[in-house]
């Protein structure tokens, strides 16, 4: 379900950017928030996604 809604784990958002206003309690998604793609944690998450989903 999280993958289908393009949810972004909050742990990946440190140092990231809000792309457009987000209402309190709303889901953080790839449409409204962007993680810092230079972090080691982001690189590990990408590798995990590639292994699990081939993405």
Print pLDDT tens along the chain (55 aa): 889 999 999 999 999 999 999 999 999 999 999 999 999 999 999 999 999 999 6
- Smallest CA-to-CA distance from 18 within 6, 34, 7 is with 34
Distance (Å, rounded) from C-alpha 24 to C-alpha 40? 28
| pLDDT the model gives residue 49 | 93
Token couple for 9: 């784990």
| pLDDT the model gives residue 43 | 98
Angle at 9 between CA 8 and CA 15, to 5 degrees: 85
């Amino acid at each position: 379900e999280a993958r289908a809604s393009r949810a972004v784990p909050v742990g990946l958002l440190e140092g990231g950017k809000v792309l457009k206003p987000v209402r309190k309690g709303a889901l953080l998604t790839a449409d409204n928030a962007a993680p810092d793609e230079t972090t080691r944690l982001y690189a590990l998450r990408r590798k995990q996604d590639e292994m699990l989903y081939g993405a």
